[in-house]
């Protein structure tokens, strides 16, 4: 069966691959970015969604400037909470399913075993608090919802850690990378495939979705260097940077980062869905994708 699906934040890193995946599956897709629909404007959301009459809305649009959010609280909540409310109310009025993309930042990062979907949330940053507010509005205002929490996202269509490291490794002799934050990298192509599968199901609820396994940012950077070298990503004549571990306190940032944000994929397992491949395999696939662009 082919669905009418609206994707918010369609020009973003994840939204881009979600649209691509859904179109490849043969669905009728309307990708909206801020130019087509300002999610903080309730009337615009209502009008657009009423006009399109989607079966499913995949809500990727978000305020994701984690550090900026600490001093721009109203904007973060306007987009991540009020904007999400506007989308949810309009979705409910046309009886559309809603898929809301959330984050590992809803947890405090003080644990030492993978977070499960129904563990207590305790966000420490404005960004995390605003995304949790969005989750709560979805749960209270929609009757058919999916919440997908993800982490450490990288894809070809946007800025991310992998692209930054690939650039810096060729430009600098030495790179310091944080070694006391642990999480799970997530490739947008793999996440988009899971979203597409869930969106046409009735397996509602909260899901944790990241590539399998975990690492620190330092270990992730090491893997980028190793796989990039094997793959011939770097220019032949370039000596790539030495990567050195450092602590979070050596690089203070306005927003606190979760020290441990590995997520358990219980929702994926218990609903009979396919686990996402190991993050290192996903990284290799991403390097191949960058090659073909």
pLDDT in tens, 124-144: 999 999 999 999 999 999 999
Percent of the chain with pLDDT over 90: 94
Model confidence at 287: pLDDT above 70? yes
Q: Which residues are catalytic?
A: 127
Q: Does any domain span residue 270? A: yes
pLDDT in tens, 7-34: 999 999 999 999 999 999 999 999 999 9
CA distance 88 to 82: 10
What CATH number should be reported for the domain holding residue 61?
3.40.50.720
Q: Does any domain span residue 218? A: no
CB 13 within 8 A of CB 184: no
- Quote the pLDDT of residue 76: 98
pLDDT in tens, 232-248: 888 766 788 999 999 99
Model confidence at 293: pLDDT above 80? no
Q: What value does the mean pLDDT take over residues 142-162?
A: 97
What is the value of pTM for the model shown? 0.97
Model confidence at 291: pLDDT above 90? no
Q: Residue by residue, what is the 3-state secondary structure of 178-193?
A: ECCCEECCEEHHHHHH
Model confidence at 221: pLDDT above 90? yes
Q: Which two tokens stand for residue 109?
A: 């990062």
Q: Does any domain span residue 140? A: yes
CB 198 within 8 A of CB 99: yes
Domain total of the chain: 1
Q: Does any domain span residue 288? A: no
Q: Does any domain span residue 246? A: no
Q: Does any domain span residue 177? A: no
Q: What value does the mean pLDDT take over residues 90-101?
A: 98
Q: Does any domain span residue 233? A: no
Q: What value does the mean pLDDT take over residues 38-53?
A: 98
CA distance 283 to 246: 23
Distances (CA, A) of 275 to 78, 213, 260: 34, 11, 21
Instruction: Read off the pLDDT band of 166 (50, 70, 90).
Output: very high
CA distance 143 to 137: 11
Model confidence at 110: pLDDT above 80? yes
Model confidence at 145: pLDDT above 70? yes
- Quote the pLDDT of residue 237: 63
Q: Does any domain span residue 217? A: no
Distances (CA, A) of 291 to 28, 145, 208: 29, 37, 29
Q: Which two tokens stand for residue 18?
A: 């979600």
Of 218, 217, 99, which is closest to residue 150 (Cα–Cα)?
99
Distances (CA, A) of 259 to 34, 161, 215: 32, 17, 12
Mean pLDDT, the chain, rounded, equals 96
For the chain, the residue count is 293
Give the structural domain span for 106. Answer: 4-160+185-212+261-277
- Quote the pLDDT of residue 251: 86
CA distance 222 to 95: 47
């Amino acid at each position: 069966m082919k669905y009418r699906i609206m994707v918010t934040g369609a020009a973003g890193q994840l939204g881009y691959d979600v649209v691509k995946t859904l179109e490849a599956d043969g669905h009728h897709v309307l990708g909206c970015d801020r130019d087509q629909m300002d999610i903080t404007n309730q009337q615009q959301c209502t009008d657009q969604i009423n006009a399109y009459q989607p079966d499913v809305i995949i809500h990727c649009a978000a305020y994701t400037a984690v550090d900026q959010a600490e001093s721009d609280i109203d904007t973060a909540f306007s987009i991540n909470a009020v904007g999400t409310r506007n989308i949810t109310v309009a979705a409910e009025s046309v009886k559309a399913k809603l898929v809301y993309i959330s984050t590992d930042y809803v947890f405090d990062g003080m644990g030492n075993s993978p977070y499960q979907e129904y563990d207590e949330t305790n966000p420490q940053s404005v960004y995390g608090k605003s995304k949790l507010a969005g989750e709560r509005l979805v749960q209270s205002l929609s009757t058919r919802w999916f919440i997908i929490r993800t982490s450490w996202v990288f894809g070809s269509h946007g800025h991310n850690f992998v692209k930054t490291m690939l650039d810096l490794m060729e430009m600098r002799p030495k790179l310091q990378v944080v070694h006391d934050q642990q999480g799970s990298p997530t490739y947008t192509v793999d996440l988009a495939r899971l979203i597409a599968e869930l969106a046409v199901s009735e397996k509602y609820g909260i899901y944790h979705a990241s590539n399998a396994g975990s690492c620190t940012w330092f270990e992730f950077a090491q893997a980028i260097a190793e796989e990039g070298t094997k793959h011939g990503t770097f220019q032949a004549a370039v000596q790539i940077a030495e990567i050195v571990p450092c602590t979070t306190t050596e690089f203070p940032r306005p927003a606190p980062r979760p020290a441990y944000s590995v997520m358990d994929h219980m929702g994926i397992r218990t609903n009979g869905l396919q686990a996402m491949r190991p993050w290192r395999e996903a990284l290799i696939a991403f390097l191949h994708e960058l090659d073909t662009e």
